[in-house]
Amino acid sequence: MSRSAHPAGPRHADVLPEGHYTAPATDLNVLDEKVWSRTVTRDDAGALTVGGIEVARLAEEFGTPAYFLDESDFRARCRAWADAFGPDADVFYAGKAFLSRAVVRWLTEEGLNLDVCSGGELATALDAGMPADRIAFHGNNKTVAEIERAVEAGVGRIVLDSFQEIVRVSHIAQRLGTRQRVQIRVTVGVEAHTHEFIATAHEDQKFGIALADGQAAEAVRRALTLDGLELIGIHSHIGSQIFDMAGFEVSARRVVQLLAAVRDEHGVELPEIDLGGGLGIAYTSEDDPREPHEIAKALSDIVTRECEAAGLATPRISVEPGRAIVGPTAFTLYEVGTIKPLEGLRTYVSVDGGMSDNIRTALYDAEYSVALVSRSSDAEPMLVRVVGKHCESGDIVVKDAFLPADLAPGDLIAVPATGAYCRSMASNYNHALRPPVVAVRDGRAHVIVRRETEEDLLRLDVG
């Protein structure tokens, strides 16, 4: 499809649904730096550039849809987290947000550790050279083969998620003639203020062992007595896309109380606590995320205070941010296809991707913003819904946003903050080919995960 501007774009700024939506006060050409990665800017002609490269050039070379990941921003965020927590704490990047060999190399170089939660993520980490002792292995139902692989590789810790797993890891470590460092994941009973599907600290869900009814204390009892295990600490992850530190405070307090109970019962002071990930990022201008140094200070203050009160030495703290590191570093670039104005309602703008490259809107009601990026425009704002090309009406990428009313087929639009849980949750629905991830840095762009091809699809189809 040509990228030349369409002469007669629809004009619907005057037909916004009554009451609900007011056109933004800000100029649509202005990029809110909260939601865009650090090297994104508009050039003199009004086109968006990232890492010094103009989007039209990127689209020409790599096609659309595609994720463009700002490597220097990714590295800067890794450093910000590592610096904020300092040498007495550990930052584990949560690979589920987005993992590839290049990402593993960047993490290794920037001194971060890595949390993996499947054999596939573990294989990627090891293949790309992450030292095994910097890997934490998670999951509520790790297979025996996965546990064997992790123990054999010498991962730094396995986070035990159930009573069965305590026994399983103990047996496997003994069989392999080693002692595996482990943490126990507990559910602290916090109601995190986030979408139900990504809240993980309440008790009625699949993860972890409950603190409330003494289960966690019993898990510690067993882990301390079984051979093959070295219990190094307690783990708690309360959920994702959380802004309010209150949940982390409650979680830290309850975990420290467990450490004190363990000390009282067993005379053992467990040396580590992991408070998980889940720190929120800005998807739209409405979101106000905290900086890593504020988070680090808040967490270390509460742990130190609670430990002092309990007469415990302060344990080594670790955290597992995924989204907060990679989320803001990438945007998805789409080409506008069909445009369907609905009088009195909104304009549907279809792009060449959709729920196969971003399922978060359909799955969690996630909110995103969007901008016209191949040019600037002085046209009036029009209320749009950005939708994909899949055979499903819930195939929505951005539910409500404003784009200039002269938007036309062939324009490039970009959805920022898609670095986390978009490529990693991408699907082949309707036999869509999953988009590439292109790393951009200092005027250079290179593919780190290539676009799928029809051959890739057909290769698996062996019937």
Q: Which lies closer to ligand LLP via its Cβ, residue 36 or residue 421?
A: 421
Shortest reach from residue 23's CB to ligand LLP, in Å: 29
Q: Which of 40, 78, 324, 333 binds ligand LLP (CB under 6 A)?
A: 324
Residue 153 phi/psi, 5° resolution?
A: -70, -25
94 is an interface residue for ligand LLP by CB under 6 A: yes
330 is an interface residue for ligand LLP by CB under 6 A: no
Task: Assess whether 391 carries a catalytic annotation.
Answer: yes
**Per-residue x/- marks for ligand LLP, 430-449, CB under 6 A?**
--------------------
Which residues lie closer than 8 Å to 18 by C-beta, 6 or more apart? none
> 239 is written with which tokens?
């959920």
Q: Which lies closer to ligand LLP via its Cβ, residue 65 or residue 321?
A: 321
Q: Which of 134, 142, 323, 375 binds ligand LLP (CB under 6 A)?
A: 323
Tell me the HSE value of 186 on the side-chain side, using a 13 A CA sphere: 30
Shortest reach from residue 24's CB to ligand LLP, in Å: 25
Q: Which lies closer to ligand LLP via its Cβ, residue 323 or residue 375?
A: 323
Euclidean distance between CA atoms 435 and 416, whole angstroms: 15
198 is an interface residue for ligand LLP by CB under 6 A: yes
**Per-residue x/- marks for ligand LLP, 143-182, CB under 6 A?**
----------------------------------------
138 is an interface residue for ligand LLP by CB under 6 A: yes
Span of 148-156, 243-251, 399-407, 420-428 interacting with ligand LLP by CB under 6 A? 420-428
Active site members: 391
> Which residues contribute to the site for ligand LLP (CB under 6 A)?
94, 96-97, 115, 138, 198, 237, 240-241, 276-279, 320-324, 360, 364, 420-421, 425
